[in-house]
Structures are given as C-alpha cells and as structure tokens.
Amino acid sequence: MDTAIRNYFIVTGGYWAFTITDGAIRMLVVLYFHMLGYSPFEVAMLFLFYEFFGIVTNLVGGWLGARIGLNLTMHIGMGMQVIALLMLTVPDIWLTVPYVMLAQALSGIAKDLNKMSAKASVKMLTGRGGESRLFKYVALLTGSKNALKGGGFFVGAALLQSIGFRGALVVLAAMLFLVLVTTALMLPSGVGKMKSKPKFTQVFSNKPAINWLSAARFFLFGSRDVWFVVGLPVFLSGVLEWSHTQVGGFLAVWVIGYGFVQASAPRLIRQGHKGRPPGGGTARFWVLVLALFPAGIAVALGQGLDPAAVLIVGLILFGVVFAINSAVHSYLILAYSDFDKVSMNVGFYYMANAGGRLAGTVLSGWAYQAYGLEGCLWWSAGFVVAAALLSFRLPEVSAERGESASA
C-alpha cells in the first residue's frame, strides 16, 4: 500500500476512535445531568467552555500544527480527552457546574485539536491537484466521522443504562488511550510541519473566499446545534418520555445516516455537475434548500401534528440536506487553501465552526427554556438564511488546480 494512503487510514482510524468517545461523552453529560435535575439552560452551560475553547483551539491549533506537525497535535488532543473523561469519574458531590465546565473545556480543546489535525492531514497526504480525489477523501473522512459520532451517542446512552455514568467513562478512557499509543507508534513525525516557522498573525486568512466561507460555516453549524444539542434530546426525554437508550439510539441512527450521506456527497453532487468540483454556486443552492426544513418542522409542530412523526420525518430530511452542505464546505476550505498553509486555514475555518456551535449551544438551552422546541427551530431557520446570504460571496473552484476562480 502507498505510504501516504497508509498514513491516511491510520489518521482516519485515530479520528474514528476519538469521535466515538466525543459522541458518547456528550450524550452521557446531557442525559445524566438532566436526570440529576439540571434545567435545559444549565445543561447547555455545561458545554459553554467546550465550545468556547474550541474557538481558541482552532485559532491556535492550525498555527501549532504547522510548527510541530499535525500528528503531534492529534495525539495531544487524544491525551487531553482521556484526562477529561477521567475527571468526570469523581463522586456526584464534586460534579459542580464549574468543575464539569472545566472538564468539558479540556474535551473541547481535545476535540478540535484532533479534528483540525485529521482534516488538514488529508490534503497533505493526498498531495497536490486531483480535486476529485480530494473531495472523495474529505467526504469519506467527514462522513465516516459523523456516522461514528452517532454510534458514540448510542454507546454513551447504552453504557449509561448498563454500567452507569462512571463505568462508562472509564471504559471510554481506556479504549482511547490504547488508540493513542498505537497511532503514535505507527505514524511518521512531522506531517504538515512547515519548513519555516510561521508567525501567529498568519493564522488570520487574507483570502476573501476563506473568510466568507468561514462566516457561512458559523451560521450553518449554529443552525444545527441551536435545536439539536439540548432542545431535541430534552424534548424527547422530558416531553415524549423516551428512555435514555431510545433517545441515544434515535440520535445515533440520525447521525449515522447523516454520516453516510456526507460520505456519498461526491457521487450525489457529481451527477448534477458533470464531474466538475463543487463551488460557490453549489454551496448557495444547498443552503437555500436547507432553510425550508427547520421552518417546516416548526410550522408542523405549531399545527398540532404528531410530534414524534414530525420530528422523525423532519430530522431525516434535514439531516440529508445538512450533510451535503457540510461536505461541500469541508471540501471548499481545502480547495480554497494554499498547499503550504492548509493547517492554518483549516484552523481558522474551524474556529468559525466552533463559534457557531457555541452560539447554537447557548441558544439551544435558552430558546428551549423560553420558547420550547419550536423557538429553537425558528432560530435555526434564521441562522440558515444568514449562511445563505454569506454564501453569495463564494467563488467557483478550478477543476484543474483546485483553487478559487478569484485566487
């Protein structure tokens, strides 16, 4: 097997393992602390530092990866996640809001170091050019990650119900530690490391296409998390009275399906583009389609239709279109990036992604507590419209060179 492809699969395997723990810890925290009597807004606040430090991590992480290598930043992230998991195994009396927020801050830093490292490594390991190949590998990595994050939701809920909160955390920490050791031994050093040491000010992109895409990404991911992070699982558990396993299983199936659609995005989009890579027009079209779904679900719930049926059908449709949007964005950030600055551009882009998740997470708890799930969905629709407006500034991509037409 080609060495670059071998390393790609090692990075992907490490990313998969980390993603399972990331999905599991999120479901464990939401369900366990809701069970302890925390309000929806208090549960949302537990993730405040998780998302906030994701912003900081992506801003610094791309620069750090360019200086010390992407494989090293990936392993630092894994180690921090192991610590974050073990921090939550203390007795309930220690699990105060500030303490849990601190543990979640470590988990947020770990997640974004790992994600930035894996995503940026794809362009480094697939080489220059070959935009069809790049889109395929990016979609496969991102789609499989989301499928496994869905598996993590189910694993977290099932472990909570079977061996309890602390037992689940210990199992997840032990698994990730083994993966950390294995990938550290198998990967070469220095992947993505720049020959010249970049200055920190270089993390801020001077390419308009990357700045507009990052702004659109902020609102795209805010539109998902404003109803998905707190509002939806609390509604399913508290209003529809689903069990922990039912909630975790349902959300797991949704995210797994979402991941499969994302991995299939190159084939789905290519049918309408005659083999050309996606560009600004593709991003505009799919985000405008996405705006129909949160608004439609909110209207259906307001009309008194069966909420379980509305949410199941609505989530399937929303998930398909959101997955295509996300896959297009994940490709465009690499296509717009210069080869030797990819880690810093990806870090800047995922800083915006983390900012959107932070805004969506906080609004999810507040909007659900104030206006219910319908309020969360209307906020979601507004965020999608904002992403659509920003997408009108995105250029097309050259099929030969993988660069924006304006670059």
Q: How many CB atoms lie within 10 A of CB 308?
A: 13
Q: How many CB atoms lie within 10 A of CB 316?
A: 15
| Closest residue by Cα to residue 277 from 393, 397, 392, 395 | 397
Is the pLDDT score of 347 beyond 80? no
Contact between 270 and 354 under an 8 Å Cβ cutoff? The reply is no
Amino acid at 254: W
Phi and psi torsions of 258, nearest 5°? -60, -40
pLDDT digits (tens, 9 = 90+) for 34-63: 788 888 778 878 888 887 887 777 777 666
pLDDT of residue 69: 67
In whole angstroms, give the CA distance from residue 158 to residue 135.
34
Q: What is the mean pLDDT of residues 344-358?
A: 81
pLDDT digits (tens, 9 = 90+) for 279-332: 888 899 999 999 999 999 999 999 999 999 999 899 889 988 998 898 888 888
397: Cβ–Cβ under 8 A, 6 or more apart, which residues? Answer: 131, 277, 278, 279, 332, 335, 336, 403, 404, 405
Is the pLDDT score of 333 beyond 70? yes
pLDDT digits (tens, 9 = 90+) for 124-147: 555 554 555 666 666 676 667 767
The whole-model pTM stands at: 0.70
Q: Which domains does the chain have, with CATH numbers?
A: 3-391 (1.20.1250.20)
Among 189-193, 225-229, 303-307, top mean pLDDT goes to: 303-307
Amino acid at 112: D
- pLDDT over 90 for what percent of the chain? 24
More confident residue, 382 or 395: 382
pLDDT digits (tens, 9 = 90+) for 84-133: 999 999 988 888 888 988 998 898 888 878 877 776 666 655 555 455 56
Per the prediction, the chain carries an average pLDDT of 80
